Amino acid sequence: MAETDHLRGHPFKLQRKPFSWRMNRLKIFNLLSFNYCRFSNAGANCMPQAVWFLNQHLVHTTSFCKSSHADSEKTPNETKFFHLNGDRTFSGLFNPFTENQMRKPKTKVSVIGSGSVGAAIAFSIMTQSISDALALIDCDEKRVTGELLDLQQCSQFVDHCFISGGKGKVIRYYSRFVQIILIRVVPEIVKHSPNCIIVVVSNPVDILTHAVWRLSGFPKHRVLGSGTLLDSARFRYLIGRKFGIAPASVHAYIIGEHGDSSVAVWSKISVGGLNLADIYPKFGHEDDPKRFADIHRDVASYGFLSTSAYKIIQMKGYTSWAIGLSCATLCNALLHDRHTILPVSTNVKGLFGIDYEVFLSMPCVISSGGVMSIVNLDLSEKEMQMFKTSAGILHAASSGLLW
């Protein structure tokens, strides 16, 4: 086996075809989309890519709007501006060498839903200079206008990002209608963005990602869920706090279900190249007197009131910043072909002897094509059994869906 074969395990075949560029008109509430293209000299030919995020803290459904949303999707070249240098009153202010033209954005992100999570996602993307253009859409015109003004007026302090947005028509439902919503929404996504990548964030994320994959008919590398991305980030933070080091210096993953049956990979946690299980054999075990196992329960036991997320909700009413930054990180990897390894929910059939279709989180190489490959983690016997148990739970739940 080659030295890097463990990173190439379970590759997903990527299909990339050139298309004539046309800015997609995105008409989904509580979904994020990214349009990416590399312009030729003529500005006509490129390879577009759309990525759709289903936002878990916004409501679960949408109707498609052909007017206000389309207007908010205009590029800078389509938007009317009043340029003072075209007024004779200010003719001495500038000495123009050429006609004043706004450049076309190479990347564009549309955040559908301007609630606490949507605003956090938009802010994270803008401050990290992930996209050249940003659109914010919501059914609440007053709220979305306020968010737009707030974001636009901080443009001096960030790299150039053209910000637009407006009102979109939205129908709101509760979670018991999720299956109906997906049946209505996913075909529209496929119709308007047949070459997009779909990223599901709404809970139960693993089951909904499976449902979206089935309904879309897309290849498995183009449908993924946020999965345990935020779980793993919280896990690293709490471990780092124990040792007094930065979370980025902790290499640790939560895999499996984004829920109670998730698996902490204690056997592979390392700090500075040192495997902590080799130094402390009881690391993460139930009989560990140092109680490191409590960290996993604090992160991932969603049935208990002591979890990190619940504490945040109890104190401030909602979670937003961590979700916003995790979505921005995933957006960055997809939009800029980073080949970053992130734990996301993907189809794991064929992994560890699993012979049925099920979506669970594993560390994956994320590129502009979606999930490029799954990292072959060398799990302990106990961890592998727990992962298979998690797969069985999700498979049983997914089997109850009507395709």
Q: Are 390 and 365 in contact (CB under 8 A)?
A: no
Q: Are 319 and 309 in contact (CB under 8 A)?
A: yes
> Which CATH number is 344's domain given?
3.90.110.10
134 domain residue, yes or no? yes
Comparing 17 with 144, the larger pLDDT belongs to: 144
**Residue 29 has which token pair?**
């509430």
Among 258, 285, 339, 395, the active-site one is 258
Mean pLDDT of 385-396: 95
Residues 6+ apart with CB under 8 A from 53: 31, 32, 33, 121, 199, 200, 201, 226, 327, 331
Residues 6+ apart with CB under 8 A from 266: 276, 277, 283, 284, 285, 292, 380, 383
Tell me: do 380 and 305 sit in the same domain: yes
165 domain residue, yes or no? yes
Give the H or E element holding residue 178.
helix 178-192
Is 258 in the active site?
yes
218 domain residue, yes or no? no
Mean pLDDT of 356-374: 96
Tell me: do 254 and 107 sit in the same domain: no
93 domain residue, yes or no? no
Tell me: do 37 and 178 sit in the same domain: yes
How far is it, in rounded angstroms, from Cα 243 to Cα 221? 36
Mean pLDDT of 147-152: 86
Tell me: do 51 and 121 sit in the same domain: yes
Tell me: do 280 and 391 sit in the same domain: yes
Q: Which domain holds residue 134?
A: 17-80+102-195
pLDDT digits (tens, 9 = 90+) for 174-212: 333 455 557 777 787 788 778 878 888 777 889 989 998
Tell me: do 274 and 138 sit in the same domain: no
Tell me: do 175 and 244 sit in the same domain: no
| pLDDT value of residue 210 | 94
Comparing 54 with 182, the larger pLDDT belongs to: 182
Mean pLDDT of the chain: 75
Q: Are 385 and 351 in contact (CB under 8 A)?
A: no
| pLDDT value of residue 100 | 65
Comparing 58 with 132, the larger pLDDT belongs to: 132
Q: How many domains does the chain have?
A: 2
How far is it, in rounded angstroms, from Cα 345 to Cα 185? 20
Tell me: do 39 and 187 sit in the same domain: yes
Collapsing DSSP to helix, strand or coil, 346 comes out as strand
Tell me: do 169 and 235 sit in the same domain: no
**Between helices 141-152 and 116-127, what is the axis angle to 10°?**
20
- Hey, which of 34-48, 179-193, 295-309, 320-334 has the most confident mean pLDDT? 320-334
Specify the DSSP class assigned to residue 102. P
Collapsing DSSP to helix, strand or coil, 3 comes out as coil
Residues 6+ apart with CB under 8 A from 379: 265, 267, 268, 352, 387
- Amino acid identity of residue 201, one-letter, is V
6 domain residue, yes or no? no
pLDDT band at 271 (very low <50, low <70, confident <90, very high): very high
Q: Within 10 A of 403 (CB to CB), how many other CB atoms are there?
A: 9
Exposed e or buried b per residue across 338-360, where buried means at least 16 C-beta atoms within 10 angstroms of its C-beta: bebbbbbbbbbeebeebeeebbb
How far is it, in rounded angstroms, from Cα 194 to Cα 281? 50
pTM: 0.74
